[in-house]
Amino acid sequence: MKVRLALTRMLPVWAVLAALLLGMVLVALAGANPVSAYRELMRGAFADLFGFATTLVKTTPLLFAGLGVAVALRAGLFNIGAEGQIYLGGLAAALVGLYVHGLPAILHIPLAMLAAFAGGGVWAFLPALLKVSRGVNEVITTLLMNYVGIYLVSFIVGGPLIEPGAPYPYTRPLDPATNLPLLIPATDAHVGILIALGLALLLHVLFARTTLGFQLRAVGANPSAAAYAGVHVNRTLILAMVMGGGLAGLGGASEVMGLKHRLFEGFSPGYGYDAVVVAFLSNGQPLGAVAMAFFFGALRSGANIMQRSVGIPVAIVFAIQGLAVLFLAASLVVQRRSRAREPRQPWGAQHIDVAKPAAEAVKHEPL
């Protein structure tokens, strides 16, 4: 029993290891020595201060957005819209940086962050509202809202907010009071990672220790039973989505305020999509998300060095990422099958007429 439990808990780790192993085969097929390729990857990500700083820079948005997906996941919702939420968060932070002046950094940074949380939150609120009021699947709506968000930012920075004479759509620089301080001098690593880590810890406590966390988990595990116990399921779902969207929005803010100090068109290279991977591989656990975000951040950071020194394209990293998800999904299916086969319930506890319609599953549920 204990062994099996440990195996289940470690499933994502096994999936990642299996993906790395299969990745070696891919590297070999591409004509390079897998061992030296992985060594270069590691060297690029960790060996010097600059590599490590890059790893942190790449980890930061992955962690913010990964937490955003994870919160929704714990409440039983699939937030595939972290990318759009990143863009809206970045936009909101940039507006505060462009139009508010004269505040000290100690106030300006929190204000911009708050705006970013609201921006991402609004972007997640719309799908959540459609879900609880009309039953529209949130996977579809959050996914589509990504495009709206990305192109909204493109329009704004390419038109109304473009810096005059800019060769590429971006805004004027933000008020320097919104710049996040550097974590490691003379590198790109900024304190955004500390904020993200702090939030991960906060979420961990939220889920493990608080009544709100209990409520979110209950709704995620069995919305019908939660509703029968008097939990306002729809309100909980909306809250989880807005929290998730806000967290992803903070990821956008940290990119804008910590790294680029302007709002660029297309400033996120798909961090929001990778965040979905981070959240699923960590099973919605905030501390697991820290590990996964760091792992994928390191892969991205080391991939450039690997490409330069052994000639393996960066794309191999995305292949490894995809393989890890496939392995995890496959193992979860196997796990569910074997659980279904276990004789755990006397039959009488359920309906014996197996063909009876499960109409009761869909119940009127008070908002």
Partner 1 sequence: MSGPDQKPILRMEDISKRFGPVQANDRISFAVRQGTVHALLGENGAGKTTLMNILYGLYQPDSGRILLRDRPVHVASPRAAIQHGIGMIHQQFMLVPPLTVAENIVLGLPPRRRVFLDLASVESEIAGLSKAYGLDVDPRARIWQLPVGMQQRVEILKALYRKADLFILDEPTSVLTPAETGALFSIIRRLVAEGHSVIFISHKLEEVMRICDEITVLRQGRVVGTVPASETSTDALARMMVGREVIFRLDKGPTRPGEVVLEVRDLSALNDRGLPALRGVSFNLRRGEIFGIAGVDGNGQAELAEVIMGLRPPTGGRIVLKGLDVTHLPLRSRIAQRLAYIPADRHRFGVIQDFSVADNLVLKDFYRPPFSRGAFLDQSAIAGHARTLAERFDIRITNVHQPVRQLSGGNQQKVVLAREASGVPDLLNAMQPTRGLDVGAAEFVLRTILAQRDAGAAVLYISTELEEVLAMSDRLAVLYNGEIMGIVRPREVSLEEISLMMAGSLRKSFAPLESVG
Distance CA 362, CA 96 (A): 44
Residue closer to partner 1 by CB (options 155, 338) is: 338
Applying CB under 8 A, the span of 124-132, 291-299, 328-336, 358-366 interacting with partner 1 comes to: 358-366
209 binds partner 1 (CB under 8 A): yes
Chain CA centroid to CA 2, Å: 30
How many Å apart are CA 166 and CA 162, to the nearest integer?
7
Nearer to partner 1, 337 or 364 (CB): 364
Verify binding: residue 186, partner 1, rule CB under 8 A.
no
Out of 202, 229, 333, 334, point to the residue binding partner 1 (CB under 8 A).
Answer: 229
Give the nearest distance from C-beta 331 to partner 1 in angstroms. Answer: 18
Is residue 164 part of the contact set for partner 1 (CB under 8 A)? Answer: no
Site string for partner 1, 106-145 (x = CB under 8 A): ----------------------------------------
Check binding of 99 to partner 1 (CB under 8 A).
no
Q: Angle at Cα 80 formed by Cα 239 and Cα 27, nearest 5°?
A: 140
By the rule CB under 8 A, 225 interacts with partner 1: yes
| 336 binding partner 1? (CB under 8 A) | no
DSSP 256: I
- Looking at 22-30, 144-152, 172-180, 219-227, which segment touches partner 1 (CB under 8 A)? 219-227
Distance CA 331, CA 230 (A): 35
Helices (H), 264-362: 271-281, 286-310, 315-341
- H helices of 135-185, in order, are 138-158
Residue located via tokens 């991205």: 300
Tell me the closest approach of the beta carbon of residue 263 to partner 1, in angstroms. Answer: 35
Q: Counting contacts by CB under 8 A, is residue 348 touching partner 1?
A: yes
* Tokens 């060769």 belong to residue: 167
If one asks whether residue 5 binds partner 1 (CB under 8 A), the answer comes out as: no
Nearer Cβ to partner 1, position 28 or 338?
338
The span from the CA of 244 to the CA of 64, in Å, is 9
From 6, 202, 228, 334, residue interacting with partner 1 (rule: CB under 8 A): 228
Cα 297 off chain centre by:
12
Alpha helices in 311-361 (DSSP H): 315-341
Backbone φ and ψ of 264, nearest 5°: -100, 150
Identify which of residues 180 and 227 has a Cβ nearer to partner 1 in the complex. Answer: 227
State the minimum distance, in angstroms, from the CB of residue 138 to partner 1: 21
What span, in angstroms and rounded, lies between the C-alpha atoms of 7 and 332? 12
Please check whether residue 315 is in contact with residue 306, taking contact to mean a CB–CB distance below 8 angstroms: no
Q: Is 343 in the site for partner 1 (CB under 8 A)?
A: yes
Residue of the chain from 49, 221, 330, 333 that contacts partner 1 (CB under 8 A): 221
Choosing from 134, 165, 211, 340, the residue that interacts with partner 1 (CB under 8 A) is 211
* 74/131 with CB nearer partner 1: 74
- Asked if 351 is part of the footprint of partner 1 (rule: CB under 8 A), the reply reads yes
Residue 224 lies near partner 1 (rule: CB under 8 A) = yes
CB atoms within 10 A of CB 345: 8
355 binds partner 1 (CB under 8 A): yes
261: alpha, beta or left, given left = phi > 0 and alpha = psi -120 to 50?
A: left
Nearest approach, Cβ of 213 to partner 1 (angstroms)? 8
Binder of partner 1 out of 218, 253, 312, 328 (CB under 8 A): 218
What residues form DSSP beta bridges with 170? 264
Residue 37: φ, ψ to 5°:
-60, -45
Cβ within 8 Å of residue 342, ≥6 positions away? none
Contact present, 282 and 66 (Cβ < 8 Å) = yes
| Region of 46-54, 108-116, 180-188, 208-216 interacting with partner 1 (CB under 8 A) | 208-216
Q: What residues make contact with partner 1 under the rule CB under 8 A?
A: 209-215, 217-218, 221-222, 224-232, 343-357, 359-366
